[in-house]
Amino acid sequence: MTPETQIPMLNEAWEAAKDYWDLSGRSALHYAAMGGSLKTAKALIRKNFALPEIQNKRGSVPLYLSFSSKQLVWYLILVTRDEHPCFPFTGPLSAQLVCKLICYGYYDIMLYLVGKYPELIFAKHEEQHLLGWLSMRYSNFLSGSNHTFWERWIYKLLKCLNRLQWKVIEKLAPLIKQVREEKLKHVYAVELVNHVCTTLLSICDTFKDTTYFFNNAESPNSQLMAASLGIDEIITTCVQYFPDLVFIGMTEDHHQLNLLQEAIANRQANIFYFIKEMPTITQILNFDVNFESETTLHLAAKLAPSSVQLLSVSGAALQMQRELQWFKAGTRSPQFKI
């Protein structure tokens, strides 16, 4: 049965079904959300405006079950009120909402929510906050994308086209639409990082407060995760707002690698070059040792840990040459190039 045939039936059956919940506490709107039916959800809410705030026995409102349809997520966010008893945007389950929005790549929706509820940037799910989840989604940044020649060419061309040209071209070449959607996701992801930094700048009084956000011992460090995955957009943006973050990971017990060590250990050239542009800081990071008493040179001498990084060049000879270049780059002399 399609949503179009369901809607007329809803008008007849509503009086009998409006007070019905199943054994798990789910309403009809919960099931419409799980099915991704926007039309059904709208019809139900027209009959009862309180449905979006009704929780099931696990405390989930329909919004939390609607992620199969981005349009439905947008609609439910706009009609769901942050009120007692569930408080879906500021309550204890709001961190799950943040996690799902990031994992599904709905960054424009996340931008809207953090603009309205700034405290969401601190909400933690599985010991990780918004920026931490972003750091794990490297494919949603340009630096983590693996484009073909034509995709790179289209990506650069996109900003030159107006809306009318878009409508024509998208019908002729679906690949262009796909690349455009990907670029929009990249733009929103960087805007989201900027928003987190500006919010922290206005809330945190001291560098200690800021460092605690980025370097909470209870969770993996978002900056170091970004460095290990090569997401230079997160590193450069955060360091632009908080320059002292380049020293993050330099703790007394040396239980973490610093940014330069992460870049070398994981063969992330963009992060490496970004830090190398600051010679004094590079020298300080070079002298730092990790928990195994290893310097940057030790890390450069190890084989690349990721098969993806190691196999980014073909052939054993070229792979060995690339590893040798990383070893040279791990020395303190700035003239070596990767």
DSSP 265-288: HTT-HHHHHHHHTSHHHHHHHHH-
Contacts of 234 (CB under 8 A, 6+ apart): 131, 134, 135, 141, 193, 222, 223, 226
Give the predicted TM-score (pTM) of the model.
0.78
Q: How far apart are CA 120 and CA 110, in angstroms?
A: 9
pLDDT score recorded for residue 331: 62
Least confident of 5-14, 191-200, 284-293, 297-306: 5-14
Q: SS3 string of 107-146?
A: HHHHHHHHHHCHHHHHCCECCECHHHHHHCCHHHCHHHCC
pLDDT score recorded for residue 63: 96
Residue whose structure tokens are 């983590």? 144
Residue-wise pLDDT for 32-73, tens only, equals 999 999 999 999 999 888 899 989 888 899 999 999 999 999
Q: Mean pLDDT throughout 118-126?
A: 88
pLDDT higher than 90, residue 114: yes
pLDDT score recorded for residue 320: 74
Which of left, alpha, beta for 32 (phi over 0: left; psi -120 to 50: alpha)? alpha
Residue-wise pLDDT for 5-23, tens only, equals 555 555 554 444 455 566 6
Q: Is 100 helix (H, G, I), strand (E, B) or coil?
A: helix
pLDDT higher than 80, residue 121: yes
For 288-313, letters b (16+ CB in 10 Å) and e give: bebeeebbbebbbeeebeeeebeeee
pLDDT higher than 70, residue 150: no
Residue-wise pLDDT for 245-268, tens only, equals 888 766 555 567 788 888 888 888
- pLDDT above 70 coverage of the chain, percent: 71
Which is nearest to 251 in space by CA: 218, 296, 215?
215
Q: Please state the length of the chain.
A: 338
Contacts of 291 (CB under 8 A, 6+ apart): 253, 254, 255, 256
* Residue 308 in tokens: 């993806």
Q: Is 321 helix (H, G, I), strand (E, B) or coil?
A: helix
pLDDT score recorded for residue 266: 83
